[in-house]
Structure 1
């Protein structure tokens, strides 16, 4: 996501590590707490002392929200019958040893064929599942980008690509030429969250910053965009179970 005219640095405030993001366009100081930790967004000319005092005054609020942030998954076990989120819904993964059928979504879960391989069965199945999920992500993104681009009156050319990437710390990006990139794990999130990220990145084709005009463009299509931002801040880390 674009962050033109913004500068970021890490600041230690008491025992908190805070990401301080300064912007010439920002008029007020604000705090965000989520999977990325504590972020303070401030006007570029605001004194550091004033920012530190503000963060300290909000310490109880910060601690409360940090307690609600999900733990980062650490190498979750992958085996037959494991549950993952797919399009926002808990879904079983069903391994099919010896099957040569393609990966497919059924009423019982996602069936993953596993043939004889030099790799452990679980590793082979996980690789196939992730490849299939990336294909589903791309297919869904192509539909939603086309749909929202038309609604937002944003012309798209064949030179403006849609890429699916294995991002670690972002959900999407838009370059100066209008090409879009998205985190493949968005297919694991509720569809409304994926759509919000699509609208967010398309809006950068019209306004390459996070100004008031930019957010007004986003909110024309996603009036409750703050709800989905909050979802990503609080629960986005759970999409990294694979």
Structure 2
């Protein structure tokens, strides 16, 4: 389905299910899905979607603003990489004497020192750099937030987790996505608090969210950032 609203062509998919209300979801790069009760006709759904046109246009416009961040990395000079919520241009420095590629973040730039200009080698070097930064930040933040809890994690690991940012096992082991250092520090703090709250409540009950809110009253703002920009946290 699609229609024109001002300068926007709004195209969406209708998904019928056993539900009482309608819901719109918008995901990068602007994919719109409308969940609707089976009892409603297409015309009713279209009219309801049209009533939300201004909000839909605003959200899809926001995704266009971050579209350049969703492109696969090419590892060329000037390409932008995220760190703590900010973008930094890349500069590649060829040094034939190096046995292993190195990454530095200095003077508002990323530098890759490498003996060979191979994408997979530079990608591995960047991933290792992010893993190390993420581990440093996570350990620091866990230590800071431990004062809010009467329990501590058993183990802490930085892992490959494509679909989630963190997890807590029944053995009180905390796992965190190595890409997290690309996000703003306040968002990383939210993920840390979220997983540490699971040390007490192994669910997403009201008690769990109340505990998160007691420790971080503005946590919903951090969740919104993740909803909007999570697709950009990638290599």
| TM-score bin (small chain) | 0.7 to 0.9
TM-score (norm 1): 0.71
After superposition, the C-alpha distances for 1:40-79 in whole angstroms (9 at most, x for unaligned) are 99xxxxxx658999x9485343744662445582423221
| 2:59 corresponds to 1:59 | no
Taking the aligned partners of 1:94 and 1:191, their CA distance within structure 2 comes to: 24
Does the 8 A contact of 2:90 with 2:109 survive in 1?
yes
Taking the aligned partners of 1:169 and 1:215, their CA distance within structure 2 comes to: 21
Q: Which runs of 5+ in 1 are unaligned?
A: 1-13, 23-27, 42-47
After superposition, the C-alpha distances for 1:76-125 in whole angstroms (9 at most, x for unaligned) are 32212211111111112222211648422211422221024xxx433322
What secondary structure is seen at the aligned counterpart in 1 of 2:136?
helix
What secondary structure is seen at the aligned counterpart in 1 of 2:119?
helix
May I ask how many residue pairs the two structures share in their alignment? 210
What residue number does 1:123 align with?
120
What is the RMSD of the two structures over their aligned residues, measured on CA atoms?
Answer: 3.5
Of residues 144, 147, 153 in structure 2, which corresponds to 1:151?
A: 147
Taking the aligned partners of 2:198 and 2:167, their CA distance within structure 1 comes to: 9
The higher radius of gyration belongs to 2
Are residues 153 and 85 of structure 1, via their aligned partners in 2, closer, same or farther at CA, if it must alter by over 3 Å?
same
What residue number does 1:109 align with?
109
Superposed displacement of residue 135, structure 1? 1.0
What secondary structure is seen at the aligned counterpart in 1 of 2:89?
strand
TM-score (norm 2): 0.73
Q: Which runs of 5+ in 2 are unaligned?
A: 1-11
What residue number does 2:137 align with?
140
Taking the aligned partners of 1:236 and 1:220, their CA distance within structure 2 comes to: 25
What residue number does 1:235 align with?
229
Are residues 164 and 31 of structure 1, via their aligned partners in 2, closer, same or farther at CA, if it must alter by over 3 Å?
farther
User: For residues 76-225 of structure 1, what are the structure 2 equivalents within 5 Å?
Assistant: 76-98=73-95, 100=98, 102-116=102-116, 120-148=117-145, 150-156=146-152, 160-225=154-219
What secondary structure is seen at the aligned counterpart in 2 of 1:15?
strand
After superposition, the C-alpha distances for 1:184-224 in whole angstroms (9 at most, x for unaligned) are 11101110011111111111111111111111111122111
The structure, 1 or 2, with the larger RCO (C-alpha pairs under 8 Å, 6+ apart) is: 1
Are residues 177 and 189 of structure 1, via their aligned partners in 2, closer, same or farther at CA, if it must alter by over 3 Å?
same
What residue number does 2:4 align with?
none
Does the 8 A contact of 1:34 with 1:233 survive in 2?
no
Does the 8 A contact of 1:29 with 1:40 survive in 2?
no
